Amino acid sequence: MPNRSLATEAVKRVKKAKDRITIALTANANGSKKLELWVIGKSKNLQSLARVNKQLFGIQYRYNNSKWITSVICEEYLR
């Protein structure tokens, strides 16, 4: 969300959203070998990916409370 805008009228302040995801992109040095995109979010079913065929786009989705790459997710990712 932007911090500022070119508003012509005063606007009521809105609390900033704190929704976050982690995205892992992996490729070799010359880009000839690319791994699937990994998205790590907080909810079991991410709303923005609900209608997306993840296999068609090569997306792996995992979730945990912190939205970070934990040791379990990292081990699965590296294998």
Could you tell me if residue 1 is inside a domain? Answer: no
pLDDT in tens, 13-23: 777 777 788 89
Q: Please identify which residue in the block is written with the tokens 């709303």.
A: 47
pLDDT at residue 1 greater than cutoff 60 = no
Could you tell me if residue 5 is inside a domain? Answer: no
pLDDT in tens, 24-46: 898 999 989 988 888 888 888 87
Q: Domain limits at 73?
A: 22-78
Put simply, whether the predicted model's pTM sits higher than 0.75 gets the answer: no
Could you tell me if residue 38 is inside a domain? Answer: yes
> Which H or E run contains 69?
none
Could you tell me if residue 62 is inside a domain? Answer: yes
Could you tell me if residue 40 is inside a domain? Answer: yes
Could you tell me if residue 52 is inside a domain? Answer: yes
Could you tell me if residue 33 is inside a domain? Answer: yes
61, 39 Cβ separation under 8 angstroms: yes
pLDDT at residue 6 greater than cutoff 60 = yes
Q: How many domains does the structure of the chain reveal?
A: 1
Handedness of CA 79, 74, 48, 42 (dihedral sign): positive
